[in-house]
Chains A and B, each alone.
Chain A
Amino acid sequence: MLGVFMGLDFFLFYVFWEVMLLPMYFLIGIWGGSRREYAAIKFFLYTLLGSVLMLIAILMLYFTSDLRALSEGQLVASHVVSPGLDAAARTAAVEAIRSASAPVHTFNLLALAEIGQLPDSPFAVARVWGWSLETLAFLLLLIGFVIKVPVVPVHTWLPDAHVEAPTPISMILAGVLLKLGGYGILRICYPICPGGGIALAWLVCGLGVVSMVYGAFAALAQKDFKRMVAYSSVSHMGYVMLGLGVWSAVAGTQYAWDAWAQGVNGAMFQMLAHGISSAGMFFMVGVLYDRVHHRNLEEFGGIFGRMPVYAGLAVTIFFAGLGLPGLCGFIGEVLVTLSSWKYSQTLAVISAFTVILTAAYILWAIQRVYLGAEYKGPHGDHLTPITRRELAIAVPLVILAIVFGVAPQTIFRTVTPTVNKQVKTLAEWTRVVHDARPANRGAIPAPALSGGSAGRFPADGVASTGVTP
């Protein structure tokens, strides 16, 4: 997983992406619950399908890429030509690439992004069955990544895998693995295929909102505590998708990069917050399951009386998942919802209303499990207070949930500069390159000034961090 987050070479990225699968298969398959083999193979199948589509996109991008089109500055910036060389050697290396007789292909993600953002990008020119390559590659990569996220039509592996996996593996799945998808979309899809991103913004946002609502309703219907938490993951990751997909520049006449940056920052924050709250929720479910060996929501109750410390921590984490102001879940959701207003008011309204559904299933679960007069299920005598080892896991998660909720800058300080830089580059690209293409001209009434007036959307997490990229 670390390799995936660090890889700047597309081939290496893919290798790490796949290497991750097999251990996961065995972790679920060996130590999982009763239907573990089914869940493990389902997880593996879905992810492999996604990664094969990704491989096809990688190969097509590779063979269409051509380093000769890049300038010296771009070649050095993307480390194709090592910046450590002295000026003469660097120029020689650049010359060698630029004067090559055949196209020089590359797997370098930074160079691919530079190529994808060229005015006459080969990805936009090449066509496959009437689709421009960047749209097709964006779609293939997107499918590969959203299976990991997961997003509604391809989410069905997640409840199975989460429910069958042992608690620590559920925590890894929710906390880290799901974020690979969002990371991939942000790091790979948008910079390399920006045109595809604009063309398919409706798809990304739509998928986000659909999984938000569907996940929330599905969570509401669950009888199994862990399944409910799993569906809440689907719902929460929908916000990530919506935040990533909001491409305000197309929606309005303004190239308002900061609205998009707000969405992307919100999505980044939501990924981290969800990593904490969801992992915490799975852990809390695991603590109960260890004691009473069932997860039926109907057969709990009165936990507050039997395990007060545990119940307090658990309720805090669940509130964080709910998105209560002051806890980590809130910041990401509000930023995403705000930014999506600019793209589509309908989507913004729906995503705001989803918060009510979220509140419904979480409060209802809290009511059925923790509140009430007495415990109704089997093995009641095993409900011992939380152990010190469990506390050592739960307390840091709760503390982080509160810290990130009260002081989101701790995350934004790190995240925002990178995100803003990428978003600003892409917004500028949209104005200068995308809308200048004949096919797109006229789609936007009046190309206006470039964005960057950071004061246009004041009083939100991004602007208040004070980071001016």
Chain B
Amino acid sequence: MNLGSLLTSSLSDTLQVSLPLFRPELCLAATVVLLLVCRMLPVVRWLDSAWIALGGAVFAAAYAWADLRGLPGSPWLPAATALNRHELFTGLLVFDPFTAYIRLLLAGFLLLYIPFTKISGIPGREEETDFHVLLLGAVLGMCLMASANHMLTVFMAVEMASVPSYALAGFLKGRKASSEAALKYAVYGAGAAGIMLYGISLLVGVLGSFHLPTMAARLSTVLAAGSTGGVTTALVLGGLMLAVGLAFKLSAVPFHFWCPDVFEGAAAEVGAFLSVASKAAAVALAVRLGCTLTAPPLADPAQLAGLADARFYGAHLVGLLAALSCTLGNLAAYGQTNIKRMLAYSTIAHAGYLMMGVAAAIALGGTDRAASRDAVAAVAFYLGAYLFMNLAAFAIVALLRNTLRSEEIAAYGGLIQSSPGVVVAMGLVLVSLIGLPPLAGFTAKFLVFASVAQAIALGVEKPLMIVLLAVGGLNTVFSLVYYLRVLGVMIFNPPPADRVNEPLPLVSLPGAFVTGLVAPVVVLGVFFAGLYACAQFAGGFAS
């Protein structure tokens, strides 16, 4: 093959395969450029950047939706004959149902999030453009995290998602706590990124490739050959360091220390972004790395058998982090008096539940592909439900802050008398976060626990899975107290003397927005079949 034909083939591959499937990301990138240009040109400076950003998000979501719908085998196109996996840009990215699902989730998040920031009034008119540029840039990085198929893309995508997040955390420039949060986040993030990069280089050095499926194939041969001590050490260390980087993004214990401080210091809006979008992307990346490296798609049985040790290691590593995050997150949330700090610990705990599903997916990958798909589907469904639950929780906190001027739990005393609607909304959200039926949080948690139980029933990593199931169950009980305490303060405590009349009336724009966010929490608890069908389709990426 001469240079000419190589160029032609790569050009046609880029133009005809890669770019059309990359449209949502292109939309986001174009919007970022447009936002910056609009800021520079005096003629169009009056344009509200929120609307431009929202427009870009609408296009991205529409393309992501079209991509998900158009895939063969999706709930709308039941003919699953074609291969549902396209490697884009010579293997740097991969487009499959999972990519499509997570991308749609992130674009949908933007559609809800930009109106939310508009309603809650942070960012102000002056910094709006910066905020939206950072926001869209970070989401672009997250989309890449979901579709990464190459260790370099993994690292670049993580950085691309993280760096704007650091700036966003410090967005309340006048506040000392906000700057401290940003600095803490940035320093911690830089350390974690360094360790992750070291881990990546160890893995790549031993396995001789950046391309994830190729790495899995090499890993299988290396492990099957009964490798020498040094190679195993390098692999184990590399995997551990990679997990450290991911655990930082997931705010999993013991790499969670930044999380409560950042959430408390930064605006509630930024907390919503970090806890929903950032977490979704990190979980997606964990699923992607975990499943691709330990049970790559289209692997033959011999290759799968060779990776048994990798699955054992991956499942135990993720499972350990999951059990720790769940327990510590829930227990630490008890003592919190600031609602944002409490929600930060709650997101740590939820990261734990999500990782239980990831551990089950990794463990099941070699024995039962259908069960592994269900585990990924449970995680994907959880992310969908979590989007509405947590965004609604932070939206209520932010909107109450605007009128109550406080984010302390004690300030919510007696809200039931002045605005019962918002108490009902918050109640539904909190109960859903506990995981009680018939709300979305229960369905999600049930599905995750079900995959862990399935692993037990199939006899896969049985001791680990039994421990995870027990830890998850007990933590549900632990979490009850602190969620209900917020509700109890709102309902049982007397209102403070200087309470304004009606902090958040339901019949108003903010009220309607909150209602719109809470409605899916209820609806998804009962009519979960549609989202679950999509999630199951997304989960089929590895098989």
Interface residues of A (CB under 8 A from B): 14-15, 18-19, 21-22, 25-26, 29-30, 36-37, 41, 44-45, 48-49, 52-53, 55-56, 59-60, 62-64, 102, 126, 128-129
B residues less than 8 Å from A52 (CB atoms): 473-474, 476-477
* B481 A18 Cβ-Cβ under 8 A: no
* A56 B477 Cβ-Cβ under 8 A: no
A55-B449, A126-B457 given; A41·B481 CB < 8 A = yes
A19-B437, A48-B477 given; A37·B492 CB < 8 A = yes
Alpha-carbon distance between A49 and B475 when the two chains are bound, in angstroms: 10
Does B506 touch A at the CB level, under 8 Å? no
Instruction: State the Cβ distance, B41 to closest chain A Cβ, in Å.
Output: 55
Instruction: State the Cβ distance, B449 to closest chain A Cβ, in Å.
Output: 6
A29-B492, A56-B453, A59-B449 given; A15·B437 CB < 8 A = yes
A37-B488, A52-B474, A53-B473 given; A60·B457 CB < 8 A = yes
Kindly supply a per-residue 1/0 record for chain B positions 455-489, scoring 1 wherever the CB is within 8 Å of any chain A CB and 0 otherwise. 01110001000100110011011001100100010
B residues less than 8 Å from A59 (CB atoms): 449-450, 453-454, 469
* B449 A49 Cβ-Cβ under 8 A: no
Please indicate which of the listed interface residues B446, B477, B488, B491 has the most CB atoms of chain A within 10 Å of its own CB.
Answer: B477
* A25 B484 Cβ-Cβ under 8 A: yes
Choose one: A19, A48, A63; the contact of B476 (CB below 8 Å).
Answer: A48
Alpha-carbon distance between A59 and B476 when the two chains are bound, in angstroms: 16
Choose one: B438, B456, B481; the contact of A63 (CB below 8 Å).
Answer: B456
Choose one: B453, B477, B488; the contact of A49 (CB below 8 Å).
Answer: B477
* A56 B470 Cβ-Cβ under 8 A: yes
Does B242 touch A at the CB level, under 8 Å? no
Alpha-carbon distance between A36 and B488 when the two chains are bound, in angstroms: 11
Does B533 touch A at the CB level, under 8 Å? no
Choose one: B437, B453, B469; the contact of A62 (CB below 8 Å).
Answer: B453
Choose one: B456, B474, B481, B491; the contact of A60 (CB below 8 Å).
Answer: B456
Instruction: State the Cβ distance, A135 to closest chain B Cβ, in Å.
Output: 15
B residues less than 8 Å from A37 (CB atoms): 488, 492
Choose one: B454, B462, B484, B491; the contact of A41 (CB below 8 Å).
Answer: B484
* A44 B480 Cβ-Cβ under 8 A: yes
* A18 B473 Cβ-Cβ under 8 A: no
Does B442 touch A at the CB level, under 8 Å? yes
Instruction: State the Cβ distance, B144 to closest chain A Cβ, in Å.
Output: 36
Q: Report the nearest A residue to B491, measured CB to CB.
A: A30
B residues less than 8 Å from A64 (CB atoms): 457
Alpha-carbon distance between A128 and B477 when the two chains are bound, in angstroms: 23
Does B331 touch A at the CB level, under 8 Å? no
Q: Report the nearest A residue to B488, measured CB to CB.
A: A37
B residues less than 8 Å from A62 (CB atoms): 450, 453
Residue pairs across A and B with Cβ atoms less than 8 A apart, 15 shown, are A18-B442, A19-B438, A29-B492, A37-B492, A41-B480, A41-B481, A41-B488, A44-B480, A48-B477, A49-B474, A52-B473, A52-B477, A56-B469, A59-B449, A128-B456
Interface residues of B (CB under 8 A from A): 370, 431, 436-438, 442, 446, 449-450, 453-454, 456-458, 462, 466, 469-470, 473-474, 476-477, 480-481, 484, 488, 491-492
Q: Report the nearest A residue to B525, measured CB to CB.
A: A15
Alpha-carbon distance between A53 and B473 when the two chains are bound, in angstroms: 7
Instruction: State the Cβ distance, A292 to closest chain B Cβ, in Å.
Output: 26
Instruction: State the Cβ distance, A130 to closest chain B Cβ, in Å.
Output: 12
* A129 B466 Cβ-Cβ under 8 A: yes
Choose one: B370, B462, B481; the contact of A128 (CB below 8 Å).
Answer: B462
A residues less than 8 Å from B470 (CB atoms): 56
A residues less than 8 Å from B488 (CB atoms): 29, 37, 41
Instruction: State the Cβ distance, B461 to closest chain A Cβ, in Å.
Output: 13
Q: Report the nearest A residue to B493, measured CB to CB.
A: A37
Q: Report the nearest A residue to B443, measured CB to CB.
A: A15
A residues less than 8 Å from B476 (CB atoms): 48, 52
A residues less than 8 Å from B491 (CB atoms): 26, 29-30
* B492 A18 Cβ-Cβ under 8 A: no
A59-B453, A102-B370 given; A18·B436 CB < 8 A = yes
Alpha-carbon distance between A44 and B431 when the two chains are bound, in angstroms: 12
Alpha-carbon distance between A21 and B446 when the two chains are bound, in angstroms: 18
Alpha-carbon distance between A26 and B450 when the two chains are bound, in angstroms: 30
Q: A59-B450, A126-B457 are in contact. List 18 more A-B contacts (CB 8 A).
A: A14-B437, A15-B438, A19-B438, A21-B436, A25-B484, A29-B488, A29-B491, A41-B480, A41-B488, A49-B474, A52-B474, A52-B477, A56-B449, A56-B469, A60-B457, A63-B454, A64-B457, A102-B370
Alpha-carbon distance between A18 and B437 when the two chains are bound, in angstroms: 6
* A56 B437 Cβ-Cβ under 8 A: no
Alpha-carbon distance between A63 and B488 when the two chains are bound, in angstroms: 38
Alpha-carbon distance between A48 and B479 when the two chains are bound, in angstroms: 11
Please indicate which of the listed interface residues B442, B457, B466, B476 has the most CB atoms of chain A within 10 Å of its own CB.
Answer: B457
Q: Report the nearest B residue to A126, measured CB to CB.
A: B457
Q: Report the nearest B residue to A29, measured CB to CB.
A: B492
Instruction: State the Cβ distance, B384 to closest chain A Cβ, in Å.
Output: 20
B residues less than 8 Å from A60 (CB atoms): 453, 456-457
Alpha-carbon distance between A49 and B450 when the two chains are bound, in angstroms: 18
Instruction: State the Cβ distance, B38 to closest chain A Cβ, in Å.
Output: 49
Alpha-carbon distance between A445 and B168 when the two chains are bound, in angstroms: 77
Instruction: State the Cβ distance, A321 to closest chain B Cβ, in Å.
Output: 33
B residues less than 8 Å from A21 (CB atoms): 436
A residues less than 8 Å from B457 (CB atoms): 60, 63-64, 126
Alpha-carbon distance between A337 and B477 when the two chains are bound, in angstroms: 37
Instruction: State the Cβ distance, A47 to closest chain B Cβ, in Å.
Output: 10
Alpha-carbon distance between A128 and B453 when the two chains are bound, in angstroms: 12
Instruction: State the Cβ distance, A299 to closest chain B Cβ, in Å.
Output: 29
Among all A-B residue pairs, the 4 with the closest Cβ atoms: A63-B457, A59-B453, A52-B473, A15-B437
A residues less than 8 Å from B454 (CB atoms): 59, 63
Q: Report the nearest A residue to B484, measured CB to CB.
A: A41
Alpha-carbon distance between A41 and B434 when the two chains are bound, in angstroms: 14
Q: Report the nearest B residue to A102, measured CB to CB.
A: B370
A residues less than 8 Å from B453 (CB atoms): 56, 59-60, 62-63
A residues less than 8 Å from B449 (CB atoms): 55-56, 59
Instruction: State the Cβ distance, B187 to closest chain A Cβ, in Å.
Output: 39
Please indicate which of the listed interface residues B431, B436, B442, B466 has the most CB atoms of chain A within 10 Å of its own CB.
Answer: B436
B residues less than 8 Å from A48 (CB atoms): 476-477, 480
Q: Report the nearest A residue to B446, measured CB to CB.
A: A55
Instruction: State the Cβ distance, B409 to closest chain A Cβ, in Å.
Output: 14
Q: Report the nearest B residue to A49, measured CB to CB.
A: B477
* A44 B484 Cβ-Cβ under 8 A: yes
Instruction: State the Cβ distance, A70 to closest chain B Cβ, in Å.
Output: 18
B residues less than 8 Å from A63 (CB atoms): 450, 453-454, 456-458
* A22 B466 Cβ-Cβ under 8 A: no
Instruction: State the Cβ distance, B192 to closest chain A Cβ, in Å.
Output: 33
A residues less than 8 Å from B484 (CB atoms): 25, 41, 44
Instruction: State the Cβ distance, B46 to closest chain A Cβ, in Å.
Output: 50
Choose one: B370, B438, B462, B473; the contact of A56 (CB below 8 Å).
Answer: B473
Instruction: State the Cβ distance, B112 to closest chain A Cβ, in Å.
Output: 27
Alpha-carbon distance between A368 and B531 when the two chains are bound, in angstroms: 63
* B466 A128 Cβ-Cβ under 8 A: yes
Alpha-carbon distance between A53 and B469 when the two chains are bound, in angstroms: 10
Instruction: State the Cβ distance, B82 to closest chain A Cβ, in Å.
Output: 24
B residues less than 8 Å from A29 (CB atoms): 488, 491-492
A residues less than 8 Å from B458 (CB atoms): 63
A18-B442, A25-B484 given; A45·B436 CB < 8 A = no
Instruction: State the Cβ distance, B133 to closest chain A Cβ, in Å.
Output: 43
Instruction: State the Cβ distance, B326 to closest chain A Cβ, in Å.
Output: 13
Instruction: State the Cβ distance, A169 to closest chain B Cβ, in Å.
Output: 16
Alpha-carbon distance between A421 and B52 when the two chains are bound, in angstroms: 71
Alpha-carbon distance between A15 and B438 when the two chains are bound, in angstroms: 7
B residues less than 8 Å from A45 (CB atoms): 477, 480-481
Please indicate which of the listed interface residues A18, A37, A48, A128 has the most CB atoms of chain B within 10 Å of its own CB.
Answer: A48
B residues less than 8 Å from A14 (CB atoms): 437
Alpha-carbon distance between A451 and B71 when the two chains are bound, in angstroms: 63
B residues less than 8 Å from A126 (CB atoms): 457
Instruction: State the Cβ distance, A12 to closest chain B Cβ, in Å.
Output: 10
